[in-house]
A = this chain, B = another copy of it.
Amino acid sequence: MSVTAPQGFEAAGVAAGLKSTGKADVAVVVNRGPRKVGTAVFTSNRAKANPIIWSQQVVADRTVEAVVLNSGGANCFTGAFGFQTSHLTAEKAAELLGVSAGDVVVCSTGLIGSGDEVFRGKVLAGVEAGIAELSAEGGQAAAEAIMTTDTVAKTVVVRRDGWTIGGMAKGAGMLAPGLATMLVVLTTDADLDAVDADAALRRATGVTFDRLDSDGCMSTNDQVTLLANGASGIRPDLDEFAAALTEAADDLAKKLQGDAEGASHDITIVVQGAASEQDAVEVGRSVARNNLFKAAIFGNDPNWGRVLAAIGTTRAAFDPYDTDVFMNGVRVCTAGGPDRPREEVDLTPRATELVIDLKHGDATATIRTNDLTHDYVHENSAYSS
């Protein structure tokens, strides 16, 4: 059910010819109210796609009526023509829905530099077809329409007493922190004001999507949008709602990690004993971006030396001679030297846990990443995105 699990949302996914495979490539998600609260977080990449520039204006007033998403073209670095395409997309949807274009978020994903006249025509036709098919059962179709190199549609539903959160996500490459790192739409029928919706979204993304760093490459098009309509009539407090939203976002982040391009291991890096959460995140990201460590995990090699070498490039409080490293539960490094024999570490399962104990405090953070594989190189050299 994804985004249509909460009351008062409709969605659709249609094939508009943007994908050469003929699969669905335009999705529409509409909030039927009563409230039209909407907010979003965007990629912090300074090279932003046209739909990002458009949508940042849309959410400024925290009111969103609908989200239009397309795969099959990023509409990034397509000049003034491309920005006009995003604008026209919103206007088309607004006209058909009887709302203001300034309340329609637009998201695009696909090849950077593509977005010509033909692209525009297909997107606008897709918006029309999508809106004609809107239904309260359309969540799954919408989730499928935003897939690119994803192998599975990614959806989530989190239910609480009387209210619900639904969500969908796409993303398989260019996954790195910097606010959002993919296209995500989250919906809820909880009754939230704009301030709480925005606070909850930032709390949730800060510890989930922001800490997924599959390949260290930050996208130009990423956006996580939250729509809240109050249709349940129930008003959870901020902490309660933020916890549920974090659960939904965490579930989608795990699904993105599990479907990352070419990956053969999902690596959870837990940094503990840090002097600050910032230190823990910096250490986790540094290890997550170390190609030598990532290649070692691909080869089922518990190479703790590469972990310490990666930590050494950070500014975090740590003593290389008093840091513990555990791989899948086995302490392979302690006191600046080898500990248990490497043969004890079984790295054959896809789920891989690396625990780093910095022994400098009580702060902790978890970063999710993937290994560096032949398939990653292959997909990203052959697939032009």
Q: Is the pair A79, B335 in contact by a Cβ cutoff of 8 Å?
A: yes
Q: What is the bound-complex CA distance between A321 and B49, given in angstroms?
A: 11
A318 to chain B, nearest CB (A): 8
Count class of interface residues, chain A: 35 or more
| A267 shortest CB reach to chain B, Å | 14
Interface members, chain A 283-315 (any B CB < 8 Å): 289-292, 295-296, 298-299, 301, 303-306, 308-314
**From DSSP, what is the main secondary structure of chain A's interface residues?**
loop
Q: Identify A215's interface contact among B82, B113, B291, B374, CB under 8 A.
A: B291
Inter-chain contact A112/B377, CB cutoff 8 Å? no
Q: Does residue A276 face the partner (Cβ distance < 8 Å to B)?
A: no
Contacts of A16 in B (CB 8 A): none
Which of B178, B312, B377 is within 8 Å of A220, CB to CB? B312
Q: How far is the CB of A323 from chain B (nearest CB, A)?
A: 9
B216, A336: Cβ atoms closer than 8 Å: no
Closest residue of chain B to A318 (Cβ to Cβ) is B46
Question: In the complex, are the beta carbons of B220 and A112 less than 8 A apart?
Answer: no
Interface status of A20 (Cβ within 8 A of chain B):
no
Residues A205-233 near B (CB distance < 8 A): 215-220
Q: Does A329 contact B (CB under 8 A)?
A: no
Judged by a CB distance under 8 angstroms, whether A320 is at the interface is yes
Q: Is A173 an interface residue (CB 8 A)?
A: yes
Interface contact B377-A373, CB-CB below 8 Å: yes
Say whether, besides A216-B289, A312-B45, A338-B113, A77 and B305 are in contact (CB < 8 Å): yes
Q: Does A378 contact B (CB under 8 A)?
A: yes
CB–CB B218/A313 < 8 A: yes
Asked if A384 contacts B312 (CB within 8 A), the reply is: no
B377 x A309 contact (CB < 8 A):
no
Confirm or deny: A118 has a beta carbon within 8 angstroms of a beta carbon on chain B.
no
Enumerate chain B residues within 8 angstroms of A291, measured Cβ to Cβ: 215-217, 291, 372, 376, 380
Given contacts A45-B313, A295-B380, A380-B291, contact A112 B337 (CB under 8 A): no
Return chain B residues, CB-CB under 8 Å to A217: 290-292, 306, 309-310
Which B residues touch A45, using CB under 8 A?
309, 312-313
A342's nearest neighbour on chain B, judged by CB, is B384
A48 CB–B CB distance under 8 Å: yes
A77-B333 contact in complex given A111-B305, A374-B378, C-beta closer than 8 Å: yes
Q: Which 4 A-B pairs have the closest CB atoms?
A: A112-B305, A299-B381, A47-B312, A295-B380
A interface list, Cβ under 8 A from B:
45-48, 74, 76-79, 82, 111-113, 173-174, 178, 215-220, 289-292, 295-296, 298-299, 301, 303-306, 308-314, 318, 320-321, 333, 335-338, 372-374, 376-378, 380-382, 384-385
6 extra interface residue pairs, beta carbon distance < 8 Å, beyond A113-B333, A295-B376: A77-B333, A77-B337, A216-B290, A218-B309, A291-B372, A296-B380
